[in-house]
Chain A
């Protein structure tokens, strides 16, 4: 069987913010079905890397191919088409607080719908059904008609996951999805993400900054340090020493 081409491939990607080097010649290939956890201290470049993969930020130099699209040269139309196939779960949930959980979930379908939507009733019936199913899957069918800003943090993050699932994505990106949650909600959300990744054979790239959940969640762990890939190991080979150095004091 010929090796499948990678779903995500970064070639010497560098991102400058002014004179600060947020990503420094990052090389990374992710294959279909892999669950990659990015580890690193804050400021190591995890969020920036994820945003580049989602086409939300453009690299200063280097090449980036995602699902066959060359991101660095793509036009806005192509980028939109690409983003449609990539789910993104944010640290701060980023829901529309005044809309219901269900309508927030429905908004995941906007990328494949033409024209603006004003109100739940303006979404096609099929989208509403899909959104209700995904809310059920994350265990929130009872709260479907509640305003998003009345939900707890853990519930809001599950709505955000439902929104990403309504996209029916091929890749799921998650930027510190549990950093703003209490430990028990964090466990629920991570278990949910792991279950979904397995059932849907999704490719997942998720940044975390705790080691223990990362090891139970990932198939592969990538350590970032000062914008560089510092370590890259299958979860079975991960050793404590390397991880300690990912978080260790500057050399």
Chain B
């Protein structure tokens, strides 16, 4: 009952946001004609020389690898402290993990750029700090789910907390630690492309520069490169996550990993730091926070609306699509495989590529950002819906089938009803991720608070950057607290 109410409330909010955004955008909405014109200007794609592509791919992957490494080290340390530590240490670590998750990566990047100059280091630190929160939380969950038996046995041997963790817990959770790190690597790759717009290095920067000089042929070529890179990374990390690393290759992989990190440190250029000026003086630029007359409240509302509307629109596609992509609902193997394939492909298109497409088709503004995020959301949400539907207990559906209900009657009478609490928690997760993405897309041209962030960076009004940081932190944190409460209540 509560779950259904939450679902209706989310839908109502989503469509209110959508109506409000389209109303404000008015008739300036581009439409099909503009889309045709854009395609003519972008065709044929103008790929840079292979050497150039490889250099940029290398730089991008190097930054992403280092950022993920930072998040694994930092998040891992906090997760261990949160699970193994005594009461105070554990509590403080949990707070740090939640705070890190709520830190908006792109705002961090802007701040770090002021300290370290343009380049790889700000991106590595910003993504690393932000993703440490997520990685750490998932790591802590994995530790908590580990079998307690061996831990008790080692306690009985007289081993200390750290010894017990290393011998009894770490071997158990190592596979899920690896899989979580790879999952985060996929996400960081997408984010790093957008960070290119604020002055990181790699494919995102090339893409931003090409579009900046209206060179759509080159820009779209880079977008294709980014899409292929994301798809390849996702396929290979997915394969490792599913099958693990064969024991006989472990040593090779370990050595390869160390070499890769060494290469990444050199190739990303994190060491080329430009320590601009006096840090104390720089710090005073950021304080006290101010809005400097900008209507940050309205902008923040727009960003929240984009996230809400995109989640609702995405759900419209994702719920039916994800349902038939669940093996216990799909009417036949063909529908199952096709819908799974659609979900997979949509999910592997990076948000930046979608945003660029929709911005060019629909013109800059929140509507384009909403559409881009909605497409992305239908992919991710579709997968979440499919996976959670497959986890539902089968007995109620079987009972309805046995009294002669049709497939459709069974779905609406049992399966869908059972799935509502899962759906609400998946929608909240999607909303959370859309809120971050909506901020990022603002920088690319999607309006909202991201636009003001870019302006503040260009006009060097760093006190405004601090204000935006605080506002976003507060919104993300309250959404997270609300979501945690809600999910606990409807279960």
A107-B159 in contact given A95-B153, A116-B167 (Cβ < 8 Å): yes
User: Within 8 Å of chain A (Cβ to Cβ): is B158?
Assistant: yes
Q: Is A111 an interface residue (CB 8 A)?
A: yes
Residue of B nearest to A95 (CB): B150
Q: Is A115's CB within 8 Å of the partner chain B?
A: yes
User: B160–A80 contact, CB under 8 A?
Assistant: yes
Q: Is the CB of A99 closer than 8 A to any CB of chain B?
A: yes
A96 touches B167 (CB 8 A): yes
**Interface residue ranges of B433-451 to A (CB < 8 Å):** none
Evaluate contact between A111 and B159: CB separation under 8 angstroms: yes
Q: Hey, which chain B residues are within 8 Å of A160, CB to CB?
A: 153
Q: Which of B93-101, B169-177, B345-353 contacts A (4 or more CB under 8 A)?
A: B169-177
Contacts of B168 in A (CB 8 A): 96, 107
Q: Are B155 and A167 in contact (CB under 8 A)?
A: no
Q: Which residues of B contact A113 (CB under 8 A)?
A: 163
* Bitwise interface map of A from 107 to 130 toward B, beta carbon under 8 Å scored 1, else 0: 110111101111000000000000
CB contacts (< 8 Å) of B150 on chain A: these are 94-97
Distance A81 CA – B163 CA, assembled complex (angstroms): 14
B154 at the interface (CB under 8 A from A): yes
For B154, the chain A residues whose CB sits under 8 A away are: 107, 110
Closest CB in chain B relative to A57 CB, distance in Å: 11
Complex partner residue of A110 from B149, B158, B172, CB under 8 angstroms: B158
| A96 in contact with B171 given A83-B157, A115-B163, A116-B163 (CB within 8 Å) | yes
| Listed residue (A81, A94, A97, A108) with the most chain B CB atoms within 10 angstroms of its CB | A94
By secondary structure, the A interface counts as loop
Cβ–Cβ contact B170 & A118, under 8 A: yes
Q: Across the interface, which residues of A come within 8 angstroms of B164, CB to CB? A: 110
Contacts A110-B163, A116-B163, A116-B165: A88 and B170 contacting too (C-beta < 8 A)?
A: no
Residue of B nearest to A106 (CB): B167
Complex contacts, A162 vs chain B, CB 8 Å = none
Least Cβ–Cβ distance between A68 and chain B, in angstroms: 16
Known A-B contacts A110-B163, A110-B167; the reply to A90 vs B157 at CB < 8 A is no
Contact of A16 with B by CB under 8 A: no
Chain A residues closer than 8 Å to B149, beta-carbon distance: 90, 92-94
Contact status B153-A167, CB under 8 Å: no
**In the complex, how many angstroms separate the beta carbon of A146 from the nearest chain B beta carbon?**
12
The interface residues of chain B lying within 8 Å CB-to-CB of A74 are none
Judged by a CB distance under 8 angstroms, whether A98 is at the interface is yes
Query: Is A117 a contact partner of B163 (Cβ separation < 8 A)?
Result: yes
CB of B403 closer than 8 Å to a CB of A? no
Interface set, chain B 119-174, CB cutoff 8 A to A: 147, 149-150, 152-160, 162-168, 170-172, 174
Residues of A with C-beta under 8 A to B160: 80, 110
Question: A95-B150, A116-B162, A116-B166 given as contacts; is B156 within 8 A of A83 (CB)?
Answer: yes
Q: Report if A132 contacts B (CB, 8 A).
A: no
Chain A residues with CB under 8 A of B171: 96, 98-99
Size bracket, chain B contacts: 20 to 34
- Whether B157 contacts A84 by the Cβ 8 Å rule is yes
> In the assembled complex, how far is the CB of residue B81 from the closest CB belonging to chain A, in whole angstroms?
15
Residues in B220-245 with C-beta less than 8 Å from chain A: none
Alpha-carbon gap, A93 to B160, bound state (A): 20
Chain A interface residue count, CB cutoff 8 Å, equals 32
CB of A54 within 8 A of chain B?
Answer: yes
- Report the minimum CB–CB distance from B60 to chain A (whole Å): 32
CB distance from A228 to the nearest CB of B (A): 25
Given contacts A99-B171, A110-B163, whether A88 and B153 have CB atoms under 8 Å apart is: yes
| Contacting residue for A80 out of B152, B158, B166, B167, CB 8 A | B158
| Residue interface mask A32-68, B partner, CB < 8 A = 1 | 0000000000000000000000101000000000000
Q: How far is it, in angstroms, between the C-alpha of A57 and the C-alpha of B331 when the chains are bound?
A: 54
Set B147, B156, B165: member contacting A54, Cβ < 8 A: B156
Quick check: is A214 within 8 A (CB to CB) of the other chain?
no
- The 8 Å CB contact of A56, one of B156, B159, B162, B166, is B156
- Which single member of B157, B163, B170 contacts A167 (CB below 8 Å)? B157
- 0 or 1 for each of B184-221: is its CB under 8 Å from A? (1 = yes): 00000000000000000000000000000000000000
> What residues of A have a CB within 8 angstroms of the CB of B156 in the complex?
54, 56, 83, 86, 88
- Expressed in whole angstroms, the minimum distance between the Cβ of B9 and any Cβ of chain A is 39
A116 CB contacts on chain B under 8 angstroms:
162-163, 165-167
* Cα distance A167–B157 in the bound complex, in angstroms: 7
Are A108's CB and B157's CB within 8 A?
yes
Is the pair B153, A56 in contact by a Cβ cutoff of 8 Å? no
- Docked-complex contact B172 and A98, CB < 8 angstroms: yes
Q: Which one of B158, B162, B172 lies within 8 Å of A96 (CB-CB)?
A: B172
- Nearest Cβ on chain A to B338's Cβ, whole angstroms: 38
Tell me which residues across on chain B come within 8 A of A167, comparing CB atoms.
157-158
By a CB distance below 8 angstroms, the chain A residues around B159 are 80, 107, 110-111
Closest Cβ of chain B to A237, distance in Å, is: 32
Q: Nearest residue in A to B166 (C-beta to C-beta)?
A: A116
Distance, CA A83 to CA B156, complexed state (A):
6
Interchain CB contact (< 8 A) of A90 among B153, B166, B167, B174: B153
- Let me know if B174 and A98 touch, CB within 8 A: yes
A residues within 8 A CB of B157? 83-84, 88, 107-108, 110-111, 163, 167
Known A83-B158, A88-B157, A118-B170; 19 more pairs at CB < 8 Å: A54-B156, A56-B152, A56-B156, A80-B159, A80-B160, A83-B155, A85-B158, A86-B156, A90-B152, A95-B150, A96-B168, A96-B172, A97-B172, A99-B171, A110-B160, A110-B163, A113-B163, A118-B166, A163-B153
Which 8 A-B residue pairs are closest in the complex by CB-CB distance? A111-B158, A84-B158, A94-B149, A116-B166, A110-B159, A94-B153, A88-B156, A83-B158
Chosen A-B contacts, 27 in total, with CB atoms closer than 8 Å, are A54-B156, A56-B155, A80-B158, A80-B160, A81-B158, A83-B155, A83-B157, A86-B156, A88-B157, A94-B149, A94-B150, A94-B153, A97-B172, A98-B172, A99-B167, A99-B171, A107-B168, A108-B157, A111-B158, A112-B158, A115-B162, A116-B165, A117-B163, A160-B153, A163-B153, A163-B157, A167-B157
Chain B positions within 8 Å of A, measured between CB atoms, are 147, 149-150, 152-160, 162-168, 170-172, 174
